[in-house]
A and B are shown apart, each in its own frame.
Chain A
Amino acid sequence: MSAEKMGTVEYIQHHLQNASVCSADNINATTGLCEGFWTFNMDTIIVSFLLGALMIFVSARLGKQLETGKPGGFQNFVESILDFVATNVRDAFPGHNPLIAPLALTIFIWVWLMNFMDLIPVDLVPWLYQLIIGDPHAHLKIVPTTDLNTSLAMAVTVFALILYYNIKIKGLGGFLKMFLFHPFGKFFIPVNVVMTFIEEISKPLSLALRLFGNLFAGELVFLLIALIGGTLAVGAAALFWAPLQILLDFGWLVFHLLVITLQAFIFMVLTIVYLGMAHDEGH
């Protein structure tokens, strides 16, 4: 494994580096890494696209053989997820909007699938990838949600919807009024603007940073556990460290199973709640 040839810091840094593509002008001469805005993290893009495609493929396959009378095992499973999402939407969302439920479902399943990539052993896929392309220093990060771009992309999209519905439901005047006279009345307009701005901007930020932070930290812990058996133990000492690594890995894996589900769920529920607030006339 590549970890044995590197220092601990290098190992972790290497693992947290995306496989990026950019134009030649943007490559840093000393580090050889991409810089600037016009960089594409190909691993993030490809893995998230593949997972999205998987969702569509499985849905389309399932959609062709839907059974009204006696649904099979997989349909039951998907139906229970659907029901779960629908219940959450009903509970947290006032009124009716046909977009909210599919949006919540997409977030829940897609985020969960992307988070799930975290449970694949941290070195396995990068190692295979390096083996295939023949470059032992190639970068690969297979958890799209540990890339801030992914979580921020979803948060920004949700934020755009929040703004859209705020203006649609309350009207442009009502939206401006919310900025000017909320929460302290008309004598504190500058304060109100700042307060409301912070309140609104904190929504996408909290969505994006919570998911990113949790998954990034989770990935880091996996890397640290991987180091126990890797760089710390050489020779006979591995007999002691390897079982410990397996034990810790298993424990963190089980805990992480909860974390990835919880994070997907929180992202979904907060999206529903924020959009519900945007629909709330009296706010």
Chain B
Amino acid sequence: MSINATLLIQIIAFVLLIWFVNKVLWGPLSKLMEDRQKKIADGLSAAEKGKHELELAEQRAKEVLKDAKSQAQNILGLAEKRGSEIVEDAKVKAAEEADRIKASAHAEIEQEVSRAREELRKEVAALVVSGAEKILNKEVDAAAHNNMLEALVKSI
């Protein structure tokens, strides 16, 4: 129970133990714990950043979608307009075509009519001449009376 040389040995043991504990336990383990703390903090800040970026991306996506929608709307409107334009154009063209066809048909009819009239006139003239011959019983000099006949035919 008295103080003796054990004291010296215990002092040496204590000092050695402090040194060892620092070397094998405190040093590595506290460094590891610090590293882990840093890692966790880094991870948390990274997650925060990621969340923020995700928000931004979502916003961006929304904007792009909105843009696309409005563009599609535009294109649709344009296409509709163009379609109605084409229809209108076709209508006008068709009407023109119809008019043209009608006009050419008219002209043809006119031509046909005038030709028929000419023919008829000639036949009437011939008929009149032959009738007059018969009436007169006498050869009428067609050439001599051509002028008169001509005038006659024209009055028909």
* Chain A residues packing against B (C-beta within 8 Å): 16, 18, 20, 34, 36-41, 44-45, 48-49, 52, 55-56, 59-60, 62-63, 66, 68, 78-79, 82-83, 86, 99, 101-103, 105-106, 109-110, 144, 147-150, 152-154, 156-157
| Secondary structure dominating the interface of A | helix
Count of CB-CB pairs between chains A and B under 8 Å: 124
- B2 cross-chain contacts in A, Cβ below 8 A: 39, 148
A148-B39 contact in complex given A102-B22, A102-B26, A110-B17, C-beta closer than 8 Å: no
- Whether A147 pairs with B6 at a CB distance below 8 angstroms is yes
Q: Shortest CB–CB separation between residue A65 and chain B, in angstroms?
A: 11
- Whether A150 pairs with B17 at a CB distance below 8 angstroms is no
A55-B17 contact in complex given A86-B30, A148-B1, A149-B3, C-beta closer than 8 Å: yes
Contact of B15 among A56, A66, A157 (CB under 8 A): A157
For B1-40 the 0/1 string (1 means CB < 8 A from A) is 1111111111101111110111011111110110110010
Report 7 cross-chain contacts, Cβ distance below 8 Å, ordered by A residue: A45-B6, A48-B10, A49-B13, A52-B13, A59-B24, A82-B26, A110-B14
- A82 cross-chain contacts in B, Cβ below 8 A: 25-26, 29-30, 33
- Whether A48 pairs with B13 at a CB distance below 8 angstroms is yes
- Whether B1 pairs with A44 at a CB distance below 8 angstroms is no
Number of residues in B with C-beta < 8 Å to the partner? Answer: 32
Q: Shortest CB–CB separation between residue A2 and chain B, in angstroms?
A: 20
Q: Shortest CB–CB separation between residue A68 and chain B, in angstroms?
A: 5
